[in-house]
Amino acid sequence: MKRSAKVLASALLAAAALPAPAQEKKDGILSATYKVEFRIRDGSDAAAKDGRRYTMLIDTTGQGTFRVGDRVPVVTGSFQQGVGGSGVSPLVNTQFSYFDTGVNIDTRLIEQQQGKVTINATIDVSTIVTHKPDTSGAVPGPASLQPTVSQIKIGVNATVSPGKASHVASIDDPVSQRKFDVEAVVTKVE
């Protein structure tokens, strides 16, 4: 029994040391692995001139998912329960909702003829917008204290040449006055 376990362990270690082929079959379907890099530039942010990079490995039979950001709590209500007839309890029950902010990317790849690759991606960029303080001296109401979520959602369906940077989307947001450019580079991993 011990000998067969040693033989099996040796075989598994030897197989793990072999290089993996670039294409392999999954359920009878050939799949290839690609490195996908998105570069998102915010034209209104001079400090981020080169943009932010998001990179993942994806095979052609699956989907790549990338989530980065914060869950921001926002007060949606509060309740202070009275205690009998003697007054108000010092405890306040505060209710929160959470906004997911940051960058979310969902990507699928399809190999085409002549070595090209079709990239299907949904890119969602969202942030909490801070409001400028009111200098008029008016007392702010509850509606003015609520945060605003700025969101840009892009659907990309483009055929690109592997290894070459491709400009796949550009948005001039009329609300925030920001300009976003999205570049994608798809490289086959061998």
pLDDT above 70 (res 84): no
Q: Which residue has the higher pLDDT, 88 or 149?
A: 149
Q: Could you give the CA distance from residue 186 to residue 166 in angstroms, rounded to a whole number?
A: 9
Average pLDDT score over residue span 171-187: 87
pLDDT above 90 (res 83): no
Work out the mean pLDDT of the chain and round it to a whole number: 78
Q: Which residue has the higher pLDDT, 128 or 22?
A: 128
Instruction: Give the model confidence (pLDDT) of 91-140 as tens digits.
Output: 777 888 888 899 999 999 999 988 899 999 999 988 887 766 666 666 55
Residue 189: name the closest of 157, 156, 164, 163 by CA.
Answer: 163
Q: Could you give the CA distance from residue 169 to residue 59 in angstroms, rounded to a whole number?
A: 23
Instruction: Give the model confidence (pLDDT) of 154-164 as tens digits.
Output: 999 999 999 99
Residue 38: name the closest of 128, 125, 149 by CA.
Answer: 125
- Hey, which residues does 173 pair with through a beta bridge? 178
pLDDT above 60 (res 3): no
Q: Could you give the CA distance from residue 179 to residue 165 in angstroms, rounded to a whole number?
A: 19
Could you tell me if 152 and 124 are in contact, meaning their C-beta atoms sit under 8 angstroms apart? yes
Q: Could you give the CA distance from residue 91 to residue 81 in angstroms, rounded to a whole number?
A: 8
Question: Can you give the residue ranges of every domain in the chain?
Answer: 20-69+103-140+153-188
Q: To 5 degrees, how large is the angle CA 153–CA 156–CA 160? A: 150
pLDDT above 60 (res 7): no
> Looking at residue 137, what is its pLDDT?
60
Could you tell me if 56 and 103 are in contact, meaning their C-beta atoms sit under 8 angstroms apart? no
Q: Which residue has the higher pLDDT, 100 or 4?
A: 100
> Looking at residue 22, what is its pLDDT?
47
